[in-house]
Amino acid sequence: MSVTAPRGFAAAGVAAGLKSTGKPDVAVVVNRGPHKVGTAVFTSNRAKANPILWSQQAVADGVVEAVVLNSGGANCFTGTFGFQTTHQTAEKAGELLGVSPGDVLVCSTGLIGTGDEVFRTKVLDGTTAAIGSLSDDGGEDAARAIMTTDSRPKNAVVSRGGWTIGGMAKGAGMLAPGLATMLVVITTDAVLDRDAADAALRSATRTSFDRLDSDGCMSTNDQVTLMVSGASGVVPDTDEFADALAELCRDLAEQLQGDAEGASHDISIEVVGAASEDDAVVVGRSVARNNLFKAAIFGNDPNWGRVLAAIGTTDATFDPYDVDVSFNGVRVCSAGGPDRPREDVDLTPRATHILIDLKSGDAAATILTNDLTHEYVHENSAYSS
């Protein structure tokens, strides 16, 4: 049931006509529990959409009663009109729910630079319809309503001793930190204060969504929201909650990776033997963003030279002539030189594992990415048509 698996939440997804396909495009998630705690993390792109600008202000007091999300239009670079549209969306939701508009977050996804009176009317009408359709099992409908180029909804649920975390996500392209082009709503019925919720969310996103780097492109609309209802009445151990939240976020991040636009390989780049975790992340990301490497994986070519060339552009601590590289369990490079024959590597499975041993320390990190395919280029060349 996704975001409605925890107690105290209701959700809905409706079709408001923002998509030409007639599919659902406006979602609402509402916290009906005794606690209204909320926190969020946002894109680090300096170019931020109007919903991001609004939600950053609204979440500052740590109270979130509801989130309204639309697909079919990013409402980004739409000027004063666009910000007013976001503001009116929060006001409409606040009016219908009997809460302060300042406690309503807004998220949008879709094409940048488009927005007019028709768009505004559809968003507001969709908000009205979604609130009128709220139900305790509406999480799946909400997850479908936020999809754009996604081929399927992404949901996850983790339960522990008497409390539950639920989440939904969308995203299939522009997947790169900070965050990814994604909208994520996470709910829990555990009892947490704002500081504990915020710390757990930032820790979880750091090792999940922030390490998903599908195509190196950062969105203007990324937002991950955590809402706390406290409806279970259970105060969890903070470490246990943080672990459970990290598990849920990793699950959603892997679902986003698996649905990346046009991808034929899901690539996990594991970097070990790093002098620091930051070094491991930098090295892994350098490979994930290397188009020559990604094209080689698409062609089932274990071209380890492209891995070494990519990591050599970083300032991480290591000796490039003492690095080992393995593809799907076969070490093809040892100490910066050839090892087993490339013919020993099978890259036909979708799941692809790259292991890079820097031999410079004990730190490690894994970056998730995808290959570069004809389908990815085609889909993004026709995105606005």
Pairing status of strand 154-159 against strand 164-170? antiparallel
Annotated binding residues for substrate: 148, 170, 181, 261, 380, 385
Q: Is residue 133 pLDDT above 70, yes or no? A: yes
Q: Which of 181, 225, 352, 369 is catalytic?
A: 181
One of 3.60.70.12, 3.40.190.10, 1.10.760.10, 3.40.1010.10 is the CATH number of 2-258, namely 3.60.70.12
CATH code of the region 266-381 = 3.10.20.340
Enumerate the known binding-site residues: 148, 170, 181, 261, 380, 385
Q: Is 164 a catalytic residue?
A: no
| Residue ranges of domains in the chain | 2-258, 266-381
Strand ranges (E), 264-350: 266-274, 324-327, 330-334, 337-338
pLDDT digits (tens, 9 = 90+) for 289-314: 999 999 999 999 999 999 999 999 99
Q: Does the pTM exceed 0.85? A: yes
The predicted-structure confidence for 55-99, as pLDDT tens digits, reads as follows: 999 999 999 999 999 999 999 999 999 999 999 999 999 999 999
Secondary element (H or E) of residue 304: helix 304-311
The arithmetic mean of pLDDT across residues 30-58, rounded, is 95
pLDDT value of residue 384: 52
